[in-house]
Amino acid sequence: MSSDVYSFNLKTITGENKSLADYKGKVLLMVNVASKCGLTPQYEGLEKIYKDYHAKGLEVLGFPANEFYAQEPGSDNEIQDFCRSTYGVEFPMFSKIVVKGEGQHPLYKYLTETKKDAVILEGGSLMSFLESKNLLTGNTYDIKWNFEKFLIDKNGKVVGRFAPDIDPQDPLLVNEIKKALEA
Protein backbone atom coordinates (compact mmCIF):
# COMPACT_ATOMS: atom_id res chain seq x y z
CA MET A 1 0.00 0.00 0.00
CA SER A 2 1.15 3.56 -0.69
CA SER A 3 2.56 5.58 2.17
CA ASP A 4 1.00 8.87 1.02
CA VAL A 5 -1.44 10.24 -1.54
CA TYR A 6 1.26 11.52 -3.86
CA SER A 7 1.63 8.22 -5.71
CA PHE A 8 -1.83 8.51 -7.29
CA ASN A 9 -2.62 9.84 -10.73
CA LEU A 10 -6.14 10.76 -11.78
CA LYS A 11 -7.96 12.44 -14.61
CA THR A 12 -9.31 15.93 -13.99
CA ILE A 13 -12.90 16.73 -14.83
CA THR A 14 -11.63 18.36 -18.03
CA GLY A 15 -9.80 15.18 -19.07
CA GLU A 16 -6.21 16.04 -18.20
CA ASN A 17 -3.95 13.58 -16.37
CA LYS A 18 -3.01 14.91 -12.94
CA SER A 19 -0.57 13.57 -10.38
CA LEU A 20 -1.47 14.23 -6.77
CA ALA A 21 2.29 14.79 -6.32
CA ASP A 22 1.58 18.21 -7.84
CA TYR A 23 0.00 19.09 -4.48
CA LYS A 24 3.08 18.29 -2.35
CA GLY A 25 3.41 20.76 0.50
CA LYS A 26 -0.30 21.62 0.46
CA VAL A 27 -3.04 20.62 2.88
CA LEU A 28 -5.73 18.71 0.99
CA LEU A 29 -9.41 18.26 1.72
CA MET A 30 -10.61 15.39 -0.49
CA VAL A 31 -14.36 15.00 -0.86
CA ASN A 32 -16.53 12.56 -2.80
CA VAL A 33 -19.28 14.74 -4.24
CA ALA A 34 -22.64 14.39 -5.98
CA SER A 35 -24.97 16.83 -7.73
CA LYS A 36 -28.34 15.33 -6.79
CA CYS A 37 -27.93 14.65 -3.07
CA GLY A 38 -29.51 16.26 -0.05
CA LEU A 39 -25.96 17.27 0.93
CA THR A 40 -25.18 18.90 -2.44
CA PRO A 41 -25.47 22.42 -0.95
CA GLN A 42 -22.16 21.60 0.78
CA TYR A 43 -20.54 22.67 -2.50
CA GLU A 44 -21.13 26.23 -1.32
CA GLY A 45 -19.28 25.63 1.95
CA LEU A 46 -16.47 23.76 0.20
CA GLU A 47 -15.98 26.67 -2.19
CA LYS A 48 -16.00 29.14 0.71
CA ILE A 49 -13.39 27.20 2.67
CA TYR A 50 -11.32 26.92 -0.52
CA LYS A 51 -11.44 30.69 -1.03
CA ASP A 52 -10.75 31.42 2.65
CA TYR A 53 -7.71 29.14 2.98
CA HIS A 54 -6.34 28.55 -0.53
CA ALA A 55 -3.76 31.34 -0.24
CA LYS A 56 -2.60 29.73 3.04
CA GLY A 57 -1.98 26.38 1.34
CA LEU A 58 -5.32 24.52 1.24
CA GLU A 59 -6.56 22.66 -1.81
CA VAL A 60 -10.10 21.26 -1.88
CA LEU A 61 -10.31 18.35 -4.32
CA GLY A 62 -13.72 17.11 -5.50
CA PHE A 63 -14.25 13.52 -6.68
CA PRO A 64 -17.70 12.96 -8.23
CA ALA A 65 -19.07 9.49 -7.46
CA ASN A 66 -22.32 7.73 -8.30
CA GLU A 67 -22.38 4.90 -5.72
CA PHE A 68 -25.11 6.29 -3.48
CA TYR A 69 -28.61 6.12 -4.97
CA ALA A 70 -27.17 7.21 -8.35
CA GLN A 71 -26.98 10.82 -7.16
CA GLU A 72 -24.22 11.72 -9.63
CA PRO A 73 -25.58 10.45 -12.97
CA GLY A 74 -24.15 13.13 -15.25
CA SER A 75 -21.12 13.21 -17.50
CA ASP A 76 -18.00 15.07 -16.42
CA ASN A 77 -19.06 18.05 -18.57
CA GLU A 78 -22.54 18.10 -17.01
CA ILE A 79 -21.08 17.86 -13.50
CA GLN A 80 -18.62 20.66 -14.15
CA ASP A 81 -21.32 22.90 -15.66
CA PHE A 82 -23.63 22.25 -12.71
CA CYS A 83 -20.94 22.95 -10.11
CA ARG A 84 -19.80 26.16 -11.75
CA SER A 85 -23.21 27.58 -12.61
CA THR A 86 -25.00 26.61 -9.39
CA TYR A 87 -22.27 26.96 -6.75
CA GLY A 88 -19.46 28.88 -8.46
CA VAL A 89 -17.04 26.01 -7.84
CA GLU A 90 -13.46 26.91 -8.68
CA PHE A 91 -11.66 24.30 -6.59
CA PRO A 92 -10.14 21.39 -8.55
CA MET A 93 -12.58 18.71 -9.64
CA PHE A 94 -11.69 15.28 -10.97
CA SER A 95 -13.37 12.86 -13.34
CA LYS A 96 -16.08 10.67 -11.85
CA ILE A 97 -14.63 7.66 -9.98
CA VAL A 98 -15.87 4.73 -7.90
CA VAL A 99 -15.34 5.38 -4.18
CA LYS A 100 -16.97 2.25 -2.74
CA GLY A 101 -17.51 -1.36 -3.78
CA GLU A 102 -16.59 -3.11 -7.00
CA GLY A 103 -14.19 -1.07 -9.08
CA GLN A 104 -13.21 1.18 -6.17
CA HIS A 105 -10.51 3.59 -7.26
CA PRO A 106 -7.13 2.81 -5.64
CA LEU A 107 -7.03 6.31 -4.11
CA TYR A 108 -10.23 5.66 -2.18
CA LYS A 109 -9.07 2.19 -1.21
CA TYR A 110 -5.96 3.82 0.23
CA LEU A 111 -7.91 6.59 2.00
CA THR A 112 -10.46 4.26 3.61
CA GLU A 113 -7.90 1.67 4.68
CA THR A 114 -5.55 4.33 6.08
CA LYS A 115 -8.20 6.21 8.08
CA LYS A 116 -10.89 3.66 8.88
CA ASP A 117 -13.09 5.74 11.16
CA ALA A 118 -14.75 9.07 10.44
CA VAL A 119 -15.51 11.74 12.99
CA ILE A 120 -19.30 11.61 13.32
CA LEU A 121 -21.47 14.71 13.69
CA GLU A 122 -22.60 14.90 17.29
CA GLY A 123 -26.38 14.92 17.34
CA GLY A 124 -26.47 14.28 13.58
CA SER A 125 -29.12 12.01 12.12
CA LEU A 126 -27.55 10.93 8.82
CA MET A 127 -25.85 7.79 10.11
CA SER A 128 -28.93 6.53 11.96
CA PHE A 129 -31.05 7.29 8.88
CA LEU A 130 -28.68 5.34 6.61
CA GLU A 131 -28.64 2.47 9.09
CA SER A 132 -32.46 2.41 9.33
CA LYS A 133 -32.65 2.11 5.52
CA ASN A 134 -29.97 -0.64 5.44
CA LEU A 135 -27.73 1.63 3.39
CA LEU A 136 -24.60 1.10 5.49
CA THR A 137 -23.33 -1.96 3.68
CA GLY A 138 -19.87 -3.38 3.10
CA ASN A 139 -16.87 -2.83 5.35
CA THR A 140 -17.24 -0.64 8.40
CA TYR A 141 -14.56 1.65 6.99
CA ASP A 142 -16.26 2.11 3.59
CA ILE A 143 -17.38 5.55 2.47
CA LYS A 144 -20.80 6.04 4.07
CA TRP A 145 -22.35 8.56 1.67
CA ASN A 146 -21.66 11.54 -0.58
CA PHE A 147 -19.57 14.35 0.88
CA GLU A 148 -17.35 12.30 3.20
CA LYS A 149 -14.18 14.32 3.75
CA PHE A 150 -10.52 13.31 4.15
CA LEU A 151 -7.94 15.77 5.45
CA ILE A 152 -4.39 15.25 4.19
CA ASP A 153 -1.40 17.03 5.76
CA LYS A 154 1.43 18.78 3.90
CA ASN A 155 3.38 15.50 3.80
CA GLY A 156 0.60 13.54 2.08
CA LYS A 157 -0.55 11.67 5.20
CA VAL A 158 -4.24 11.17 6.00
CA VAL A 159 -4.81 13.01 9.29
CA GLY A 160 -8.59 13.26 9.43
CA ARG A 161 -11.83 11.77 8.15
CA PHE A 162 -15.18 13.45 8.59
CA ALA A 163 -18.69 12.07 8.16
CA PRO A 164 -20.73 13.32 5.20
CA ASP A 165 -23.06 15.46 7.32
CA ILE A 166 -20.23 17.48 8.87
CA ASP A 167 -20.57 20.76 7.04
CA PRO A 168 -17.42 22.24 5.52
CA GLN A 169 -17.93 25.33 7.71
CA ASP A 170 -18.27 23.29 10.94
CA PRO A 171 -15.71 24.58 13.47
CA LEU A 172 -14.62 20.99 14.10
CA LEU A 173 -13.43 20.64 10.50
CA VAL A 174 -12.21 24.23 10.12
CA ASN A 175 -10.06 23.92 13.27
CA GLU A 176 -8.45 20.73 11.96
CA ILE A 177 -7.72 22.43 8.64
CA LYS A 178 -6.14 25.38 10.47
CA LYS A 179 -3.97 23.01 12.56
CA ALA A 180 -2.78 21.22 9.43
CA LEU A 181 -1.98 24.52 7.72
CA GLU A 182 0.01 25.73 10.73
CA ALA A 183 1.99 22.51 11.13
User: Could you tell me if 100 and 63 are in contact, meaning their C-beta atoms sit under 8 angstroms apart?
Assistant: no
Which residue is catalytic, options 37, 119, 174, 181?
37
Burial class (CB in 10 A: 0-12, 13-18, 19+), 106: middle
Annotation says 83 is catalytic: no
Cα separation, 51 vs 120, whole angstroms: 25
Q: How many whole angstroms separate alpha carbon 62 and alpha carbon 80?
A: 11
Active site residue ranges: 37
